[in-house]
Amino acid sequence: MAQVLEFKLPDLGEGLTEAEIVRWLVAVGDVVAIDQPVVEVETAKAMVEVPCPYGGVVTARYGEEGTELPVGAPLLTVAVGGTGAPEELAEAAPGAAPTVGGTAAESAVSSEYSGNVLVGYGTAGPAARRRRVRHESQAVAKPSAPAPAAAAVAAPVAAPAPVAVPGAGHGDGPVPVISPLVRKLARDRGLDLREVRGSGPEGLILRADVELAIAALERPVAATTTAPAAAPVPAPSAAGASSGERVPLRGVRGAVADKLSRSRTEIPDATCWVDADATELMAARAAMNAAGGPKISLLALLARICVHALARFPELNSTVDMAAREIVRLPAVHLGFAAQTPRGLVVPVVKDAGTRTAEALTAEFARLTEAARESALTPADLTGGTFTLNNYGVFGVDGSTPIINHPEAAMLGVGRIIPKPWVHQGELAVRQVVQLSLTFDHRVCDGGTAGGFLRYVADCVEQPAVLLRTL
């Protein structure tokens, strides 16, 4: 007897509470193998292919491409068990109550279920059974009398979803909202969530519901702000807010907006900068690459300089715990670097940068950059940074005042390296000059420490041999 199992959007790790369906990789009626990717979703941190721990026939999908689902919402149902023939498994779809195992179905399901815990990226972690035990009467579907609730669960994605409108909400009862981002959006726009009807499972309010409700509230306001009837109605202004294009802050763009806003709100930052003669650094890199072996990138050399500077000024490799009113100095340097991608700005993290050679850093920067361009970064690749290096010189600009990557304490910005007049050994010469900018959290140190860090970085750029004293 085939069983219909429901696969829900798993916890993707790092505190993520929702994901947007980008592309379905299977259709209803397809046969899927255990741990086969079935859908591609986009979170606030990365694009992820989600594997299904069940093997069988897909009987239903939930959510169209572009739909945002909370963690724990149904993704699809799979008919498993029986002889494994697609025809028999497909017959289990109508009216079959979804289950995730049970005493009666245990033996039938075990061969079609990987048992892996879907937390983080993929199901390659240690196998661990997470099955909810049900009574036999609940675990085994009864074809002669299917439950109405079970039929609703197996409904295809084409079923219309309720529309979120003001005035059709929850009254004084509890408001079904999981995502703190949804609550924040409603709070910022003055929307009472009790007046919103959710389109998610069991009335769960999604971000799309809040956006629809906000749009519905704004339409009457726009209608009542027209000119008096006796006066001619002016033509819409091209600069008016109502005529502008609205771009939702979602996915990576939304995550960047939230993080930068939080940084500016919580961190009292300050910036100092200095020009440095990078001629000797460029010559040293050219000599290293001319000697054969793997090529060394400029970013890798700057990373090595940052690591040694942080060893001298550990205050800048820290974070602030305001609840405990403590500065937490971190033992290892996990170096983030800004990377521009088609999906927006992301900051991959090179773990344990202080233990890597220039060659190893070059290889890791290349790997993470390529993964970022292909939207293949995992949540683990984008979290855990303790200090960020931002090479905005690749955009052809000289200077900037970087915004700290919360909850870190500092960021070093590097402008373009270009020929400029420079006094070298008492004479005017044309040298390769770069501007370095350090933005730091003034809670972790004062200007003397920040200036000392930046001056040490500039000295290493001007005289790479300075690093030899620390090796």
Q: Is the dihedral of CA 281, 287, 288, 289 positive or negative?
A: positive
Lookup result for tokens 């420079």: 422
| Pair 119, 192 in one domain | no
Judge whether 348 and 373 are in contact, CB under 8 Å: no
Q: How many CB atoms lie within 10 A of CB 381?
A: 21
Say which of 308, 406, 424, 442 is annotated catalytic. 442
pLDDT given at position 275: 97
Divide the 471 residues of the chain into consecutive groups of 10 and give the mean pLDDT of each group.
85 70 90 89 75 90 87 90 53 48 42 48 38 36 38 39 45 56 73 79 76 72 44 50 77 79 93 96 93 90 96 96 94 93 85 94 94 85 93 90 92 96 95 97 96 96 79 49
Residue 169 in domain: yes
Please, how many CA atoms are within 13 Å of residue 414, restricted to the half-sphere of its CB? Answer: 23
- Domains identified in the chain, total number: 3
Q: Is 68 inside any structural domain?
A: yes
Q: Which residues of 272-307 are buried (b: 16+ CB within 10 A; e: fewer)?
A: bbeebbbbbbbebbeebeeeeeeebbbbbbbbbbbb
Q: Which two tokens stand for residue 83?
A: 């002889």
Residue 239 lies in a domain: no
Tell me, yes or no, whether 149 and 164 share the same domain. no
| Same domain (yes/no): 398, 309 | yes
Tell me, yes or no, if 170 is annotated catalytic. no
300 shares its domain with 440: yes
Residue by residue, what is the 3-state secondary structure of the chain? CEEEEEEECCECCCCCCEEEEEEECCCCCCEECCCEEEEEEECCCCEEEEEECECEEEEEECCCCCCEEECCCEEEEEEEECCCCHHHHHCCCCCCCCECCCCCCHHHHHCCECCECCECCCCCCCECCCCCCCCHHHHCCCCCCCCHHHHHHCCCCCCCCCCCCCCCCCCCCCCCCCCHHHHHHHHHCCCCHHHCCCCCHHHCCCHHHHHHHHHHHHHHHHHCCCCCCCCCCCCCCCCCHHHCCCCCCCHHHHHHHHHHHHHHHHCCEEEEEEEEECHHHHHHHHHHHHCCCCCCCHHHHHHHHHHHHHHHCHHHCEEEECCCCEEEECCCCCEEECEEECCEEECCEECCHHHCCHHHHHHHHHHHHHHHHCCCCCHHHHCCCCEEEEEHHHHCCCCCCCCCCCCCCEEEEECCCEEEEEEECCEEEEEEEEEEEEEEECCCCCHHHHHHHHHHHHHHHHCHHHHHHHC
Same domain for 310 and 205, yes or no, is no
Q: What is the CATH number of the domain that holds 123?
A: 2.40.50.100
Round the CA-based radius of gyration of the chain to a whole number and report it.
28
Residue 93, CA distances (Å) to 26, 35, 64 in order: 16, 21, 20
With CA atoms as reference, report the closest residue to 149 among 220, 209, 95: 95
pTM more than 0.85? no
Domain end (from 107, 138, 153): 153
Q: Which residues contact 121 (CB under 8 A, 6 or more apart)?
A: 12, 13, 46, 48, 378, 379, 380
Residues 345-375: b if buried by 16+ CB within 10 A, e if exposed: ebbbbbbebbebebeebbbbbeebbebbeeb
Structural domain for 452, as ranges: 268-470
Tokens 């961190």 label which residue?
267
Pair (207, 102) in one structural domain: no
Q: Same domain for 424 and 357?
A: yes
> Are residues 398 and 450 both part of a single domain?
yes
Q: What is the pLDDT of residue 121?
A: 37
208, part of any domain: yes
Q: Is residue 452 part of a domain?
A: yes
In a domain, 407, yes or no: yes
Q: Which residues contact 433 (CB under 8 A, 6 or more apart)?
A: 275, 276, 277, 278, 417, 418, 419, 420, 422
Task: Based on the fold, state whether residues 304 and 442 are members of the same structural domain.
Answer: yes
292 and 146 assigned to the same domain: no
Same domain, 126 and 169: no
pLDDT of residue 370: 92
* Residue 128 to residue 10: CA distance in whole angstroms: 14
Residue 256 lies in a domain: no
Residues 282 and 408 in one domain: yes
CATH number at residue 439: 3.30.559.10
26 in a domain, yes or no?
yes
Question: What is d(CA 205, CA 196) in angstroms, rounded to the nearest whole number?
Answer: 7
Contacts of 167 (CB under 8 A, 6+ apart): 195
